[in-house]
C-alpha cells in the first residue's frame, strides 16, 4: 500500500522580556521579542537555513510572528514563503493569571490544593482544552498534506520529495527515518511535505503529549523522561516524521527525531 510521509518541525518563539521575568503572557499579553529573542530567532534561522519547507504556520501572536520572520529571513529556500497565521497555535489561555508572575499562579494553585501544572486559573484553558487545540491543528495539517499529495499524484515524481528529505538530513540526525535519501528502498516514498510550525511553550508541551500519549509516537533513545515533560527553551526545535498508509482509516505513525533541541543557542548570549 502507498505511504504518504511528511516532516513536521516545531519551534518555540524567542525570548520576550516577560519570559525572562517569569510573567505569564498566555494569549492576552502580546509582548514582542526582546533583543535576546531576536538573536535566538536568527540563530534558529541559521540552524534551519538549508531545510526546504513547503508550508509555514505560525501562531498569530507578536512573539511567534517575529520569530517566524527571523527564521525565514535566514533561509536559503524559503525567504519569500507565505506564512499562514493560525489562532489554533496560540499559547494556552491563562485567564486571570495573564500578566502576573508565575509565582502567583503557583500560589493560586496551592490555595486551590492543586499541582501548579494541572491547575486552571479562572478564565483559563484546561490542559485538555489546549491538547484538543493541538489535536485539531494536527488533524487539519494531516488532511491538508494528504489532499495535496493526492492532487499532485506525488508518487509519479519521486525526485522533488527526496530533496526535502536530503535537505532535512543535512541538519538533523535522521538516521533510519530517511530511507529514500539513504538507500534505494522504493517502498518508502520521499517526503510529501516539510512543515514549519512556530508556537508556544505550554501549547507545544500539550501538542507533544498528544503525539506521544495518544499517537504513541516513537522517541529517540537519548530522550529522558524529564526532557519529555519539560517546556521547550525559547526557539527550542523539535522534529517529527509523520507517516500515513494510503486508504487505511488509521492514525498515522509518528516518529520523533529530536525534541526541544537547543544547540543553535550555544553562541547566543543574554543581553543585559
Which residues carry out catalysis?
13, 91
Residue 84 backbone phi and psi in degrees, to 5: -100, 120
Residue matched to cell numbers 498515522? 252
Q: What is the DSSP string of 104-118?
A: HHHHHHHHTTS-TTT
Q: Is 16 annotated as a binding residue?
A: yes
Q: Is 100 annotated as a binding residue?
A: no
Q: Is 12 annotated as a binding residue?
A: yes
Q: Is 5 annotated as a binding residue?
A: no
Q: Which residues contact 179 (CB under 8 A, 6 or more apart)?
A: 185, 188
Angle, CA 243 vertex, CA 237 and CA 248 arms, to 5°:
150
Q: Is 203 annotated as a binding residue?
A: no
CA quadruple 229, 235, 237, 242: dihedral sign:
positive
Q: Is 263 annotated as a binding residue?
A: no
Q: Is 18 annotated as a binding residue?
A: yes
CA distances, 161 to each of 26, 168, 171, 238 (Å)? 37, 11, 17, 21
DSSP 223: -
Q: Is 13 annotated as a binding residue?
A: yes
Q: Is 15 annotated as a binding residue?
A: yes
Annotated binding site: 12-19, 63, 91-94
Annotated binding site for substrate: 12-19, 63, 91-94
Amino acid at each position: 500500500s502507498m505511504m504518504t510521509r511528511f516532516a513536521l518541525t516545531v519551534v518555540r518563539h524567542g525570548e520576550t522580556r516577560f519570559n525572562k521575568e517569569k510573567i505569564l503572557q498566555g494569549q492576552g499579553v502580546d509582548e514582542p521579542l526582546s533583543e535576546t529573542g531576536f538573536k535566538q530567532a536568527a540563530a534558529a534561522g541559521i540552524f534551519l537555513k538549508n531545510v526546504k519547507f513547503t508550508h509555514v504556520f505560525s501562531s498569530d501572536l507578536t512573539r511567534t510572528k517575529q520569530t517566524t520572520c527571523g527564521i525565514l529571513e535566514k533561509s536559503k529556500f524559503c525567504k519569500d514563503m507565505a506564512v499562514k497565521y493560525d489562532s489554533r497555535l496560540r499559547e494556552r489561555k491563562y485567564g486571570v493569571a495573564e500578566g502576573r508572575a508565575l509565582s502567583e499562579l503557583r500560589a493560586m494553585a496551592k490555595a486551590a490544593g492543586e499541582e501548579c501544572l494541572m491547575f486552571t486559573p479562572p478564565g483559563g484553558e484546561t490542559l485538555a482544552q489546549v491538547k484538543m487545540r493541538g489535536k485539531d491543528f494536527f488533524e487539519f495539517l494531516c488532511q491538508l498534506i494528504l489532499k495535496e499529495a493526492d492532487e499532485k499524484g506525488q508518487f509519479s515524481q519521486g525526485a522533488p520529495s527526496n530533496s526535502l528529505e536530503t535537505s532535512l538530513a543535512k541538519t538533523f540526525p535522521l538516521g533510519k527515518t530517511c530511507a529514500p535519501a539513504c538507500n534505494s528502498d522504493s517502498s518508502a516514498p520521499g517526503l510529501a511535505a516539510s512543515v514549519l510550525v512556530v508556537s508556544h511553550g505550554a501549547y507545544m508541551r500539550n501538542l507533544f503529549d498528544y503525539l506521544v500519549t495518544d499517537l504513541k509516537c516513537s522517541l529517540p533513545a537519548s530522550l529522558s523522561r524529564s526532557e519529555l515533560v519539560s517546556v521547550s527553551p525559547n526557539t527550542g526545535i523539535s522534529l517529527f516524521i509523520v507517516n500515513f498508509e494510503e486508504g487505511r482509516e488509521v492514525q498515522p505513525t509518528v516518529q520523533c527525531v529530536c525534541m526541544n533541541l537547543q544547540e543553535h543557542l550555544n553562541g547566543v548570549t543574554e543581553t543585559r
